[in-house]
Amino acid sequence: MSDSRLLPTGSSPLEVAAAKACAEIEKTPVSIRELWNPDTCPANLLPWLAWSFSVDRWDDKWPEATKRAVIRDAYFIHCHKGTIGAIRRVVEPLGYLIEVREWWQLNEEPGTFRIVVGVLEQGITEEMYQELERLVADAKPASRHLTGLAISLSTTGNIFAGAGCYHGDALMVYPYTPEAIIV
Express the helix, strand and coil content of the chain in percent, nearest 5 each: 40, 15, 45
- What is residue 5's predicted lDDT score, i.e. its pLDDT? 67
- In this prediction, residues 50-75 reach a mean pLDDT of 91
Percent of all residues in the chain with a pLDDT value above 70, rounded to a whole number: 96
Average pLDDT of the segment spanning 28-49: 88
In whole angstroms, what is the distance from residue 144 CA to residue 130 CA?
19
pLDDT level of residue 69 (50, 70, 90 thresholds): very high
Q: Do 19 and 58 have their domain in common? A: yes
Question: Looking at residue 4, what is its pLDDT?
Answer: 61
| Domain that includes residue 36, residue range | 12-79
151 and 100 within one domain:
yes
Span 138-149, pLDDT tens digits = 889 888 899 998
Q: How confident is the model at residue 25 (pLDDT cuts 50, 70, 90)?
A: confident
27 within domain boundaries: yes
Listed in order, strand segments (DSSP E) in the chain are: 97-102, 112-119, 145-153
Tell me what the mean pLDDT of segment 78-94 comes to. 87
Distance CA(26)–CA(171), nearest Å, equals 95
Q: Does residue 51 sit within a domain?
A: yes
Q: Does residue 65 have a pLDDT over 90? A: yes
Sheet with 112-119, strands from edge to edge, namely 97-102, 112-119, 145-153
- Is 61 found in the same domain as 19? yes
Q: Identify the CATH number of the domain in which residue 123 sits.
A: 3.30.300
Residue that is last in its domain, among 55, 79, 103:
79
